[in-house]
Amino acid sequence: MNFPRASGILLHPTSLPTRFGIGDLGSGAYQFADFLASTGQRLWQLLPLGPAGYGNSPYQCLSVFAGNPLLISPERLVVDKLLQRADLDDAPCFSMERVDYGAVLEFKMPLLRKSFETFERKAARRKRRAFEAFCQKNTAWLETYSLFMALKEIHGLAAWNTWEEDIRTRHPKSLEHWTDKLDREIRYHKYQQYQFFKQWSELKKYCNDREIRFIGDVPMFVALDSVEVWSHPEMFYLDDSGKPTVVAGVPPDYFSRRGQLWGNPLYRWDVMAKDGYAWWIERLRAARNLVDIIRLDHFRGFEKYWEVPAKDATAITGRWVPAPGAGLFDTVQKALGTLPIIAEDLGVITPEVETLRKQFGFPGMRVLQFAFGSDLNTDDYRPSSYPRNCVVYTGTHDNDTTIGWFRGEDIKDSTQTKEERQKEKQAALGYLGADGHEINWDFIRLALMSAADTAIIPMQDILGLGSEARMNLPGRAKGNWCWRFAPDMLTKGIEGRLRELTALSGR
């Protein structure tokens, strides 16, 4: 599928400015949408929007269908008369630069609970009908998710595979018992999802009305501690106690000499094939309803994936295992039609992966930080060779910022040496005909002026920030997913410069 020539910004909502410790779907999101519109941007790329689990990672969600309650805006709950303005007056003095997830949970979850109690007591009949209609429409996933979350809470948020055997294995009598006992808490979690999707749909309409489309991420794998693995253990390689026997990762690469050990359980593709990949069809249907364009993360894994024994401490020892590839996408297309999909085809890409991507017309990705290395076997990643049907990035959420990359600030665990990075920098400067004092804008211009139909710039590069603003360093256990920006960082000068470059590049 070819997309119209356009550009946009990569920014997860958690990074938006608010006074509540974390970005959300409130006024900061609408102000950012106005910024996108005023600078001619037509795309807003997000990370997964689900409830983050281990390490606060949006790629380790507790559910692939649910939304993250921390993104619910308290301000909009005030507008809906579910909170009082005074309820927000005691907000702590949160950092505007980093998300402290523990402190945010401590502040926001009581507010959500209070709004739920108000809704139960005072909501008008029209609003109650809307809530019940939402529950009915989403019952296929919402019932199980809400029970799962209520169970996690009474188990002190422990992973499901540590629960008592009867509920861990979903014995029917145990499910019936806990569903009755936790009825109120189950309803509360349904309410959270109702508020998330209500606020999300309002923001999406606001953006779509201004010709801004959302690009949303669909990770290939799911978290072990998720409702999907608990409710469908037969779809994953698990032992009798619910622990994975093999896990996902990638071999040593640009980011880590030890490889990346993600730890996600691997799919039993043979089991999924028996019902015509019904779970994948519903997952992609939900993603298409949530966003306008789907970015399939780790597309390479749909052709072959890296299987690592669960006992291993690194991803060095593993093997490539065939995945269903075209069989899966043929089935999905028959059920859902042609989907607007971007294939994240970074990493070890084989001719077979390229053939799969091209067979279905998915645009692939190009990253400028990877464009000047001496280890490239072809010129495919040189900007002058970019095809139209691709998406160019200065960097992704896994990369350092462009300034951080240029300075070599975050290279310690990479397979790349300092000497190789220096040669790469010199090659980039020679290509650009620049001295590097505004390397972020040099890269932004290069991306926008390229032949690629779609250009996406991380917000950190628009703001000219260094490694301190990096969103994720693959393989690092702590400190990821925390970056935020303050509203005064977006100056009129930046706005005007981006608007001019976007117009000049015909986007």
DSSP code of residue 356: H
Q: What pLDDT is attached to residue 315?
A: 86
Q: Are 296 and 328 in contact (CB under 8 A)?
A: no
Q: What pLDDT is attached to residue 212?
A: 98
Give the total number of structural domains in the chain.
1
- Residue 453 annotated as catalytic: no
- Indicate whether 198 belongs to any domain: no
- Indicate whether 192 belongs to any domain: no
Predicted confidence (pLDDT) per residue in 82-138, tens digit: 999 999 998 999 999 999 999 999 999 999 999 999 999 999 999 999 999 999 999
For residue 490, what are the domain limits? 6-135+211-504
- Indicate whether 348 belongs to any domain: yes
- Indicate whether 217 belongs to any domain: yes
- Indicate whether 25 belongs to any domain: yes
Q: What pLDDT is attached to residue 360?
A: 97
Q: What pLDDT is attached to residue 81?
A: 97
Q: Check the CA dihedral 466-296-346-250 and report its sign.
A: positive
- Residue 410 annotated as catalytic: no
Helix or strand run (H / E) with residue 464: none
Q: What pLDDT is attached to residue 377?
A: 47
Distance, CA of 391 to CA of 454 (rounded, Å)? 5
**443: domain CATH number?**
3.20.20.80
- Indicate whether 179 belongs to any domain: no
Distance, CA of 286 to CA of 279 (rounded, Å)? 11
Q: What pLDDT is attached to residue 306?
A: 95
Instruction: Tell me which of 24, 75, 398, 453 is the catalytic residue.
Output: 398
- Residue 398 annotated as catalytic: yes
- Indicate whether 67 belongs to any domain: yes
Instruction: Tell me which of 24, 225, 228, 344 is the catalytic residue.
Output: 344
Helix or strand run (H / E) with residue 457: strand 454-458
pTM for the full predicted model: 0.95
**If 0-12 CB within 10 Å is exposed, 13-18 middle and 19+ buried, where does residue 421 land?**
middle
Instruction: Tell me which of 24, 217, 225, 297 is the catalytic residue.
Output: 297
- Indicate whether 184 belongs to any domain: no
Ordered mean pLDDT values, 10 residues apiece, the chain (507 residues): 94 97 98 98 98 93 98 98 95 94 96 98 96 98 98 97 97 98 98 98 98 97 98 97 95 74 95 98 98 97 96 91 97 97 91 96 95 66 90 96 87 68 91 95 98 98 97 86 95 97 97
Q: What pLDDT is attached to residue 411?
A: 58
